[in-house]
């Protein structure tokens, strides 16, 4: 007899069948981008979502509010490039006005952050992660297909000046491009007080070019960093995905996120909302729950909560990258929200 899965609980925290509770919401506020990172997008870009399909500010804030009511305590704005959403400051202010007020963070490529860091902080943004893979201008151009390194550096400085501390830098190492320079990037970040975290490249690019054997692993990054620095593991990682190391005894530290080679799916507390109002229980989910259409058809909060609970109840045990059944999601990272 096949076992019958019980229905999702009607109240309490936002649970899945493995007992994990969703508390960290990633919201993609746009799928558009002004860079073309090779591990993310093709050179020509992607067919962007038509505006009418995207959530309005009021719709987005209402859905975030419903999720906050279900126990979400951290909201991270991402994309695409979140700074390209013209109303981003208003979106942040709307989320900051929710009760209880969630912690509000953003992941950005930093282009345009020099102008926007202060107004975003004033609207309620608490923290920022800026993606920067190299401080070598030629490598930056090779990786992002745009000559915008100076803009990113200015954005980082503005974030620190606006008090969006600790400013974190996210980097992906690509074999034969920037993997030889990871120690330079760490020195540069330490000198400026930014916290660097390396993330393994995942199979989420629109072009489907990811290959397991070509990925620069967390172990390789650690090895390269130890050629220049003494790394001491920091205890008490808890459910955080980054393994943290003190650099040369501290206080500076570096994080390494082995999302592929040492997955942390068992501790996952994430849920995602796309710019067109689809709820995803995982970056790698092959299903989505459409929240936008019921919302536009006049659904009550209770009806939307039922759709959200049912989708979280479908969450799988893990991403399964490298297993025979693995299927890369149809949406690329830029349209899911990284
Ligand atoms: N445009 C913003 C940015 O670059 O920070 C936000 C969206 S981007 C999709 C979010 C993060 O995902 C970035 O740090 C980026 O480096 C990372 N990312 C994109 N594609 C990836 C991939 N295939 N594997 C691992 N990380 C990836
Ligand atoms: Fe744009 Fe971010 Fe993707 Fe780079 S990683 S192309 S900045 S969405």
Candidate from 33, 106, 140, 172 with most ligand 1 atoms within 8 A of CB, to mutate: 172
Q: Tell which atom from ligand 2 comes closest to the C-alpha of 41.
A: 6
Burial class of 153 by CB neighbour count within 10 A (0 to 12, 13 to 18, 19+): middle
Does any ligand 1 atom lie closer than 6 A to the CB of residue 31?
no
- If you take atom 8 of ligand 1, which residue's CA is the nearest one? 338
Does any ligand 1 atom lie closer than 6 A to the CB of residue 79?
yes
pLDDT digits (tens, 9 = 90+) for 204-256: 787 888 887 889 999 999 999 999 999 999 987 666 778 999 999 999 999 99
- Separation of CA 333 and ligand 1 centre (Å): 7
In whole angstroms, what is the distance from residue 109 CA to residue 97 CA? 26
Pinpoint the alpha helices (H) of the chain. 57-69, 88-96, 113-123, 137-144, 149-161, 182-192, 218-226, 292-296, 301-313, 333-336
**Which position has the token pair 């401080």?**
135
| Cis, bond preceding 181 (omega within 30 deg of 0) | no
pLDDT digits (tens, 9 = 90+) for 145-180: 999 999 999 999 999 999 999 999 999 999 999 999
Which pLDDT does position 4 carry in this prediction? 58
> What's the CATH class of domain 24-336?
alpha beta
- If you take atom 4 of ligand 2, which residue's CA is the nearest one? 37
- If you take atom 4 of ligand 1, which residue's CA is the nearest one? 109
Domain spans in the chain, listed from the N-terminal domain onward:
24-336
Average pLDDT, the chain: 93
pLDDT digits (tens, 9 = 90+) for 49-107: 999 999 999 999 999 999 999 999 999 999 999 999 999 999 999 999 999 999 999 99
Q: Which ligand has the nearest atom to the CA of 108?
A: 1
Which pLDDT does position 138 carry in this prediction? 96
């Amino acid at each position: 007899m096949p076992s019958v899965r019980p229905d999702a609980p009607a109240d309490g925290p936002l649970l899945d069948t493995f007992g994990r509770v969703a508390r960290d919401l990633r919201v993609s506020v746009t799928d558009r981008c002004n860079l073309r990172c090779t591990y993310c997008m093709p050179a020509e870009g992607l067919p962007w979502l038509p505006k009418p399909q995207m959530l309005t500010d009021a719709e987005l804030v209402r859905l975030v509010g419903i999720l906050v009511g279900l126990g979400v305590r951290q909201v991270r704005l991402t994309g695409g490039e979140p700074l390209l959403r013209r109303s981003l400051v208003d979106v942040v202010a709307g989320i900051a006005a929710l009760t209880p007020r969630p912690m509000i963070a953003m992941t950005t490529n930093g282009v345009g952050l020099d102008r926007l860091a202060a107004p975003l902080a004033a609207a309620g943004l608490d923290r920022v992660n800026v993606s920067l893979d190299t401080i070598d201008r030629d490598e930056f151009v090779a990786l992002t297909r745009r000559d915008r390194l100076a803009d990113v550096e200015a954005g980082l400085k503005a974030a620190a000046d606006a008090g969006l501390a600790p400013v974190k830098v996210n980097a992906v190492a690509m074999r034969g491009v920037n993997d030889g320079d990871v120690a330079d990037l760490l020195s540069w970040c330490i000198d400026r007080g930014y916290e660097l975290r390396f993330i393994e490249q995942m199979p989420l690019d629109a072009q489907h070019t990811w290959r397991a054997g070509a990925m620069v692993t967390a172990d390789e990054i650690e090895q390269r960093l130890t050629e220049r620095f003494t790394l001491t593991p920091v205890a008490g990682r808890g459910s955080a995905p980054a393994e943290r190391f003190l650099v040369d005894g501290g206080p500076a530290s570096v994080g390494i996120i082995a999302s592929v080679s040492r997955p942390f799916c068992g501790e996952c507390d994430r849920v995602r909302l796309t710019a067109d109002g689809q709820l995803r229980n995982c970056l790698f989910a092959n299903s989505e729950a459409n929240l936008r259409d019921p919302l536009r058809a006049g659904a009550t909060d209770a009806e939307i909560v039922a759709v959200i609970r049912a989708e979280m109840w479908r969450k799988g045990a893990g991403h399964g990258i490298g297993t025979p059944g693995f299927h890369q999601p149809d949406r690329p990272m830029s349209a899911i929200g990284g």
